[in-house]
Amino acid sequence: MDAIIMIIRWLMQIFTLGIIVYVFLSYFLQPYHPLRQGMERFFEPMLKPIRRILPGTGMFDFSPIILLIIVQLSGTIIISLLSRLG
């Protein structure tokens, strides 16, 4: 069970880092850059539903922060449940 928990923590860290890198790349790379387009194909399907729910805040997009919170909360809940089982 410890190995599964470690894998989940590892995936959470990679996913969190990916979101942060995606946000920074959106400021510095052109929209047609291949790296940015690849990350956009991965993260945008998760960000779009959050953007539909959040009210418009002008030029600030808080959806990546909400996605980070969701990832951390769900990972913590899953790890907590697994640690109780094992």
The alpha carbon dihedral of 58, 55, 60, 40 has a sign of negative
Torsion of CA 36, 41, 43, 46, to 10 degrees: 150
The alpha-carbon radius of gyration of the chain (Å, integer) is 15
Provide the residue ranges of all domains of the chain, joining segments of one domain with +. Answer: 2-85
Query: Mind listing the pLDDT tens digit for each residue in 11-68?
Result: 999 999 999 999 999 999 999 999 999 999 999 999 999 999 988 777 888 999 999 9
pTM of the full structure: 0.87
Residue 86: predicted pLDDT: 72
**Polymer length of the chain:** 86
Instruction: State the Cα–Cα distance between residues 70 and 62, nearest whole angstrom.
Output: 13
- Answer yes or no: are the C-beta atoms of 77 and 56 closer than 8 Å: no
